[in-house]
């Protein structure tokens, strides 16, 4: 059986604007929303874990690759998906979590992660060794030399291929495909709020592909090079703390044209979160077949849960009882454990508080697994289920969901409302990669 993602590439190279959304989240509710959409659309769902989220030491989610696979499998069963519809991927697989260590130590751990992802049945591996490591002689703020990055990328691929040969065709039942390159700025970088990122030039694309191909051949990976299907590029889309830089096809015209020189490759676009549906659709038409999205999904989940807390406040007026205090619990925990946001959020106390709760980068996503936050969330859901959410309040706070509730397509259950709000984000990607759009229900009135 062929890797199903190869069909996406074949269709793109045949001139069909086809693609696949890549859901980069380990949050169960987000995964469930993506699964529900795939079930209704009858399509593949590509779910990717980053090297920070999931690794052999547990990452910030506490999950290893096999654990992530188990969570995904459980969500798929709930959604009624067949195993063939679910594809696992690894995002930014490389030494980034261990970048302060020596190159030898960091790369040893990165290669171990690549092997473990193959054993867990990951079908798509984005290999990213672009960051300087602890003992690299690179000036602060300067990129790693391309040749060294390419060499380390080949080391990661060799580790994956060694594991693949040891395990036959891998747990997925077919050979994985590879994605090379990285976006600008590097993972974890901070975008200047006032300036859109520079678009990758055709010359930069050419140098990246040539350097990695040469490194693969030096490592005896010519067969694996045939399964390199995509290159990460920066098409000029990004988002900052409070701003979004939309796709401008004119700025990316020369980059899109350059892709015609690579008969086996498509582009992968990162940070496509918050783009308008028509922008995402044009990106796919311009060869950006794989669209990474993560923070926009967890942001929609956070929005939905905060809206539920407003409903809780409205229903409690004059009724008494203990409130969940979910937003307050999140802020307390984030301030107690600032390691996931303090490098990114700056300014006055008011600015920082705004970013903690509402930033588009949504660093709240690191804190949903905290026990205090979990208890507050469970209390919120329990309070609303015991009271029930009247349709007028559904319409007030979840207008897109209200007509679905009225038609019987959606239950007025708190978790169902939030999940459907997240699914609205996923629906924009369904449109982008297929051209088909569900008719969005209008608010009541």
Are residues 182 and 203 located together in one domain of the fold? yes
Q: Is residue 238 part of a domain?
A: yes
Q: Check whether 441 has a pLDDT greater than 60.
A: no
Mean predicted confidence (pLDDT) in 132-137: 96
Pair 142, 227 in one domain: yes
Look at residues 293, 308, 342 and tell me which one is the last residue of a structural domain. 293
Q: How many other C-beta atoms lie within 10 A of the C-beta of residue 366?
A: 19
In a domain, 432, yes or no: no
Global pTM reads: 0.94
What's the token pair of residue 18? 């086809």
Q: How far apart are CA 249 and CA 286, in angstroms?
A: 8
Task: Indicate which CATH number applies to the domain containing 407.
Answer: 1.10.400.20
Residue 435 lies in a domain: no
**Region 232-247: what's the mean pLDDT?**
95
Q: Indicate if 267 and 331 belong to the same structural domain.
A: no
Backbone angles phi, psi at 24, to 5 degrees: -105, 85
Q: Residue 396: is it exposed, middle or buried by C-beta count within 10 angstroms (0-12/13-18/19+)?
A: middle
Residues 202 and 306 in one domain: no
Residue 313 and residue 288 share a domain? no
> What's the pLDDT score for residue 183?
76
Residues 140 and 112 in one domain: yes
395 and 266 in one domain?
no
Q: If we measure between CA atoms, which residue out of 241, 234, 225 comes closest to residue 177?
A: 225
Instruction: Domain of residue 414: give its range.
Output: 299-422
Confidence of residue 374 (pLDDT cuts 50, 70, 90): very high
Domain co-membership, 313 together with 383: yes
Domain identity same for 90 and 140: yes
DSSP 445: -
- Do 198 and 254 lie in a common domain? yes
Model pLDDT for residues 73-94, shown as the tens digit of each residue: 999 998 899 888 999 999 999 9
Indicate if 257 and 398 belong to the same structural domain.
Answer: no
Question: Considering the domain boundaries, does residue 149 fall inside one?
Answer: yes
Bridge partners of residue 126, in order along the sequence: 179
Could you give the 3-state DSSP secondary structure of residue 16?
coil
CATH number at residue 78: 3.20.20.70
Strand pairing partners for 291? 21, 269
Query: Which of 240, 271, 293 represents a domain boundary (last residue)?
Result: 293
The pLDDT mean for the chain works out to: 93
Residues 365 and 265 in one domain: no
Residue 1 domain-assigned? Answer: no
Q: pLDDT tens, 318-360?
A: 556 789 999 999 999 999 999 999 999 999 999 999 999 999 9
Query: Would you say residue 336 lies in a domain?
Result: yes
Cβ within 8 Å of residue 381, ≥6 positions away = 308, 414, 415
Q: How many domains does the chain have?
A: 2
The rounded distance, in Å, linking the Cα atoms of 143 and 122 is 29
Q: Is residue 100 part of a domain?
A: yes
45 part of a folded domain: yes
Domain boundary (293, 321, 337) is at 293
């Amino acid at each position: 059986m062929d890797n199903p993602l190869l069909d996406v590439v074949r269709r793109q190279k045949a001139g069909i604007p086809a693609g696949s959304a890549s859901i980069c989240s380990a949050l169960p509710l987000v995964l469930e929303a993506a699964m529900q959409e795939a079930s209704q659309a009858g399509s593949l769902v590509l779910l990717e874990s980053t090297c920070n989220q999931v690794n052999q030491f547990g990452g910030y989610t506490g999950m290893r690759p096999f654990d992530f696979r188990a969570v995904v499998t459980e969500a798929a069963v709930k959604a009624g998906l067949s195993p063939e519809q679910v594809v696992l991927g690894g995002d930014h697989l490389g030494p980034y979590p261990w970048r302060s260590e020596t190159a030898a130590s960091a790369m040893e751990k990165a290669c171990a992660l690549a092997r473990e992802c193959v054993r867990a049945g990951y079908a798509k591996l984005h290999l990213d060794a672009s960051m300087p490591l602890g003992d690299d002689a690179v000036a602060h703020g300067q990129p790693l030399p391309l040749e060294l990055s390419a060499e380390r990328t080949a080391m990661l691929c060799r580790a994956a291929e060694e594991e693949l040969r040891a395990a036959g065709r891998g747990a997925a039942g077919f050979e994985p495909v590879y994605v090379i390159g990285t976006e600008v700025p590097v993972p974890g970088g901070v975008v200047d709020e006032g300036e859109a990122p520079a678009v990758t030039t055709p010359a930069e694309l050419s140098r990246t592909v040539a350097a990695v191909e040469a490194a693969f051949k030096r490592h005896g990976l010519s067969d694996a090079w045939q399964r390199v299907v995509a290159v990460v590029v920066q098409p000029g889309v990004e988002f900052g703390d409070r701003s979004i830089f939309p796709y401008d096809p004119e700025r990316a015209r020369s980059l899109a044209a350059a892709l015609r020189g690579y008969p086996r490759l498509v582009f992968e676009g990162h940070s496509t979160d918050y783009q308008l549906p028509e922008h995402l659709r044009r990106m796919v038409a311009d060869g950006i077949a794989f669209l990474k999205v993560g923070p926009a999904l967890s942001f929609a989940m956070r929005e939905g849960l905060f809206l539920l807390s407003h409903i809780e406040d409205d229903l409690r007026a004059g009724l008494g009882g203990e409130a969940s205090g979910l937003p307050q619990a999140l802020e307390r925990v984030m301030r107690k454990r600032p390691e996931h946001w303090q490098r990114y959020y700056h300014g006055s106390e008011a600015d920082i508080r705004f970013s903690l709760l509402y930033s588009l980068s949504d660093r709240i996503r690191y804190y949903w697994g905290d026990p205090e936050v979990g208890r507050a969330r469970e209390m919120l859901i329990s309070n609303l289920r015991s009271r029930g959410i009247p349709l007028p309040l559904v319409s007030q706070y979840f207008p897109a969901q209200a007509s679905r509730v009225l038609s019987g397509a959606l239950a007025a259950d708190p978790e169902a409302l939030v999940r459907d709000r997240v699914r609205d984000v996923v629906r924009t990607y369904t449109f982008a990669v297929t051209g088909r759009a569900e008719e969005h229900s209008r608010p009541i009135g």
